[in-house]
Amino acid sequence: MKNAILVLALLTAAAFSRSIIPPIPDSVADSSLTAGNGRFAVELFREISRESQGDNIFFSPFSISMAMGMTWNGATGETARQMASVLNFDMPVYFVNRSFERITERISSGTAGEMGGEPLTMTVSNGIWVQNGFQLLNSFTEAVTGFYGASAENLDFTGDPEGSREEINEWVAENTMQKIIDLLAPGTITPDTRLVLTNAVYFKASWLYPFEELATAEGGFTRGDGEKVTVPMMNQTEFFDYASSDEWQAVRMPYAGGSSSMLIILPRNMESYLEGFDEEAIPDVERRLSRVNVALSMPRFEFSQSITLGDILISMGMELPFSGEADFTPITGNPDLFISQVLHKAYVKVNEEGTEAAAATAVVMNITSAPGSVEQMIVNRPFLFLIKNDETGSILFMGLVYDPSVS
């Protein structure tokens, strides 16, 4: 009888273990991560658009998700829960890591197809930069270097923060074909910085159906504020996937090789369209697309954008990771790190030949100070003050304040 009870207990324990981390088929895991990244992209776009004040917007949600995914490996407890909720990670960290690894391999392998065009270039690079002598747990280091292929480097953040910043920026520029310059602005790295996680994405592809340069002509374009400007408009007539509704028109333009495309959505009224823009908006457009002969006219454009994501992510529900109460114990074994900044910069160029784009994300993590007792001083009555030279001990100025309102 005891043996039967023991076997039953073991079976129950095994079943409970599988319920915590059930095996997830690769295809299901990859679909889950892709869907979650899509929801995060839309939610992040909505937040950025609210703050754009009519300016151009361009960013890489994949780069941001991957950089934050690496960081998520070092989070635990409520810190990890908040990150997963905002990033829409719906699986245990191991399966998210595996899916990022597989998806990266897939998107990095596009080539030109039989119909010609330059080979598609897509590279994803990750890096982890650690303060000299600052010990990370092997489990964390192995996860980010193994699943994400991150190169690990030691830097002297404490003694040479600006030199460390420049070295990280050089790595970013090199891995984005010099399109992302100075991701980390002066002062981003401080002596309290202990860890920086970086992601760089570079994309270049030619259109499957290129525009003829001779067909490009000056044309009118009405800006968001209603003012009209003159810009180079590219023109062609070709069979594309197209759809329209009372609220928008949309066209999908494939790149050579067939593995990538650009979807353009043209709202009748941008302000009202953005009010209802949610995670179903893009799938709704895609479901309606069908092959149609389209006379397409669109502007050439090229611009870059820098975004500081900390406040945006906090407003989306990721408060704890940016506070002194963050728990990133799986990184060092101690809850002594918090995210100080998340920085993102992106570049895009669209012309007659195709598209070139690059983006980089950096997650900067600083060390927290140990909490101590707090003494309170309220200077709300007359007081003495003095100014001294501390090297010599000389008192340079001394005073007494009775009424600070008197000038």
Q: What is the DSSP string of 277-312?
A: --TTHHHHHHHH-EEEEEEEEEE-EEEEEEEE-HHH
What are the pLDDT tens digits along the chain (407 aa)? Answer: 334 333 333 333 333 333 356 688 989 999 899 889 888 888 988 898 888 777 888 889 899 999 999 999 999 999 999 999 999 999 999 999 999 999 998 888 654 444 455 778 889 999 999 999 999 999 999 999 999 999 999 999 999 999 999 999 999 999 999 999 999 999 999 999 999 999 998 888 898 999 999 999 998 888 877 888 888 888 999 998 898 899 888 888 888 987 888 888 888 888 888 888 888 888 898 899 899 898 888 888 888 889 999 999 999 999 999 998 999 999 999 888 999 999 999 888 889 999 888 989 999 999 875 444 434 434 345 533 333 233 333 332 334 333 544 43
DSSP assignment of 363-394: EEEEEPPPP---------S-EEEEEEETTTTE
Q: What angle do CA 108, 110, 112 make, to 5 degrees?
A: 150
What residues does 124 pair with on adjacent strands?
A: 201
Contact 195, 340 (CB under 8 A): no
Tell me which amino acid residue 44 is: L
CATH of domain 213-301: 2.30.39.10
- CA–CA separation, 231 and 218 (whole Å): 5
What's the Cα-to-Cα distance from 160 to each of 157, 166, 186, rounded to whole Å?
5, 10, 12
- CA–CA separation, 255 and 350 (whole Å): 12
Contacts of 230 (CB under 8 A, 6+ apart): 218, 219, 220, 221
What's the Cα-to-Cα distance from 10 to each of 5, 164, 359, rounded to whole Å?
9, 52, 50
- CA–CA separation, 90 and 96 (whole Å): 8
What residues does 262 pair with on adjacent strands?
A: 253
Length of the chain (residues) = 407
Spatial CA neighbour of 94 closest among 59, 53, 139, 157: 139
> What per-residue confidence (pLDDT) applies to 110?
53
Q: Which residue ranges make up each domain of the chain?
A: 13-206+303-367, 213-301
> What per-residue confidence (pLDDT) applies to 286?
87
H or E element at residue 331: helix 329-332
CATH of domain 13-206+303-367: 3.30.497.10
What residues does 291 pair with on adjacent strands?
A: 241
- CA–CA separation, 71 and 317 (whole Å): 16
Phi–psi pair at 187, nearest 5 degrees: 90, -10
**Torsion over CA: 31, 37, 43, 46 (sign):** negative
E-assigned strand segments in 212-267: 217-222, 228-244, 248-254, 261-267
What residues does 305 pair with on adjacent strands?
A: 346
Query: Look-up: residue for tokens 């009424």?
Result: 403
Query: Look-up: residue for tokens 């704890």?
Result: 320
Neighbours of 109 (CB within 10 A): 11
Helix (H, G, I), strand (E, B) or coil at 315: helix
Contacts of 222 (CB under 8 A, 6+ apart): 228, 229
Phi–psi pair at 96, nearest 5 degrees: -65, -45
Contact 120, 259 (CB under 8 A): yes
Greatest extent of the chain over all pairs of C-alpha atoms, in Å: 92
Both tokens of 87, joined, read 């990033």
**Torsion over CA: 222, 226, 229, 231 (sign):** negative
DSSP state at residue 282: H
- CA–CA separation, 357 and 78 (whole Å): 35
